[in-house]
Chain A
Amino acid sequence: MTMLTPRARVRGLGSAKGGTEHWWTQRLSAISLAVLAPFFFIPFAIALGKPWVEVVSMYKHPFNAIVAALFMLAVFHHMRLGLQVVIEDYIHAPALRTGLLIAVKLGTLLLGFAAAFSIAMIAFTV
């Protein structure tokens, strides 16, 4: 005897209103990052430590700019999902736990967007 409606049973979502979505998006972002990693980190390692003018001219190149912006968005999405699980596993005090989960969700959104926007700014204006 189940308390689920037939439609809810077919969709496979319990009271959490989420099924494998978290698990699946973490894997998708992981695959994206693994594929993008060499294309992001080799130019990044070359650019790191160079003067501003050279760094800016490197990231004006569309390939570097697009890869870097995508990488930043994927990194902060993956980071949000990972840190969420770590917080859920180890932080048990309800107020602190909820506060940290909100901070991580909003903080990663802010940083991911700001980094991607900055790369676009470098490519278009600076």
Chain B
Amino acid sequence: MSNVETGADVGRGNRPLSPHLQVYKPQITSVMSAFHRITGVGNSIGAVLVAWWFIAAATGEGAFDFINGLLTSWLGHLVLLGFTFSLCYHLCNGIRHLLWDAGYGFELDQVKTTGIMAIVAAGLMALGLFIVGWAN
């Protein structure tokens, strides 16, 4: 009844507070969820670079050579490396989210299994893209 006495949020009664992020043990569920957002924001930066690349290609050879030079520099390669992993993770974990939206895979063991599957698939997918990129 302490909440009623203090007058703060009368309706909630004596229910426990939601566990606070800083004292709650990180788990595959919460960490993967956070990474979905982080990679989503990261992919936004990648999307801007891809758009820039296309716009430059339409503008002309000079504009294209500039962005191509940026992306093929060592820093550009580092950004592309991160972008590839970020993208593959967001895609694989996104499919997991779509399955949840359709009503599948809510059991705790399934959530863990599909989580590991998404991470492994994302790693393989990124590796595949690197091979395609390097071989050509």
Q: Identify the A interface with B (CB < 8 A).
A: 27, 30-31, 33-34, 37, 41-42, 44-46, 48-53, 55-56, 59, 68, 72, 75-76, 79, 82-83, 86, 111-112, 114-115, 117-119, 121-122, 126
Chain A residue numbers with a CB within 8 Å of B58 are: 117-119, 121-122, 126
Within 8 A of A (CB), among B47-93: 47-48, 50-51, 53-55, 57-61, 64-65, 68, 71-72, 80, 87, 91
Specify which of A49, A56, A114, A121 lies most central, judged by the most chain B CB atoms within 10 Å of its CB: A49
B contacts, CB < 8 Å to A: 37, 40-41, 43-44, 47-48, 50-51, 53-55, 57-61, 64-65, 68, 71-72, 80, 87, 91, 94-95, 97-98, 101, 129, 132-133, 136
- Please name all residues of chain A whose beta carbon is closer than 8 Å to the beta carbon of B64 when the two chains form the complex: 52, 55
Min CB gap A124→B, angstroms? 10
Total A-B residue contacts, Cβ distance less than 8 Å: 90
- Please name 14 pairs of A and B residues whose Cβ atoms are closer than 8 Å in the assembled complex, sorted by A: A37-B91, A41-B87, A42-B132, A53-B61, A55-B64, A59-B57, A72-B50, A79-B47, A111-B48, A112-B51, A118-B55, A118-B58, A118-B59, A122-B57
Q: How far is the CA of A83 from the CA of B71 in the complex (A)?
A: 24
